[in-house]
Amino acid sequence: MKEISISLLLKNMNQENNYEDDLWKTCLDEKGKRYKRKDISNLLKKLEVLGFVKKIRKSGTDIHYNKLSYSNPDDYVGFVNNNMFTNESRIKESLKKLENRKIFVDISKDLNSYKLAKQSKENYEKLSEAFSNLTELTSAIQLVNETSKDERLRKKLRICNSEIKETLEQTNEKIIRDRKSNEIIILQRRFAGRIPNPGFLKI
């Protein structure tokens, strides 16, 4: 999966009235090419989930985004904690339903041909989404830690980051426990592929 810098996205946005089409035109990759429109749309949704922007809907077709700023650092920490709690709860719920169930129907020797078991598919997808949300939240936290001069904020965010890291490690341990070797390889590969570099988002 490709990645994009959160800083690059924000750099190409004004403080207010950022339309998806404008960002699509101005935000270019390292080769000077535009990203796909659907990628820009998904990235804006991620920035909203991570607390960097707010979506403003004036009508069904008039939708733009404003950058968010936090005058009180505790407001941002509160936002991060709420995000953590939501996704950690989803992970625990999904893991509980998956731990003793078969995730894959069949896996070929080359590990590229597999099918999710019908009963497990929905819970597996919920688990994957919540896992991705937490990895991108920790990526955003690391960016804020690098750019913020508020040591009190940075200290609180480091605590949040440690808790997320512990949750992700526990999730990995539980999901592969008592699985066959070929299942473990696929699971680790799929989850590792969802982890962005610090300050980046997966496209």
The per-residue pLDDT for 144 is 94
What is the crossing angle of helices 118-147 and 151-176, to 10°?
160
The per-residue pLDDT for 48 is 96
Average pLDDT, the chain: 92
Q: Which of 25, 22, 28 is nearest to 8 (CA)?
A: 28
User: 86-126: per-residue pLDDT in tens?
Assistant: 999 999 999 999 887 889 887 777 777 788 888 899 999 99
The per-residue pLDDT for 66 is 97
- The reply to whether CATH 1.10.260 applies to domain 3-67 is no
What pTM value is reported for the model? 0.89
Q: Per DSSP, what are the bridge partners of residue 67?
A: 53
pLDDT in tens, the chain (203 residues): 799 999 999 999 999 999 999 999 999 999 999 999 999 999 999 999 999 999 999 887 889 999 998 889 899 999 999 999 999 999 999 999 988 788 988 777 777 778 888 889 999 999 999 999 999 999 999 999 999 999 999 999 999 999 999 999 999 999 898 888 888 998 998 899 899 999 999 99
Number of C-beta neighbours around residue 108 at 10 A: 9
In this structure, the dihedral spanned by the alpha carbons of residues 134, 3, 117 and 106, taken in order and rounded to 10 degrees, is -130
Q: Which ranges of the chain would DSSP assign to H, the alpha helix? A: 6-11, 20-26, 37-49, 73-98, 118-147, 151-176, 181-192
Give the integer Cα–Cα distance in Å for 66 and 17.
Answer: 6
Q: Where are the domains of the chain?
A: 3-67, 73-198
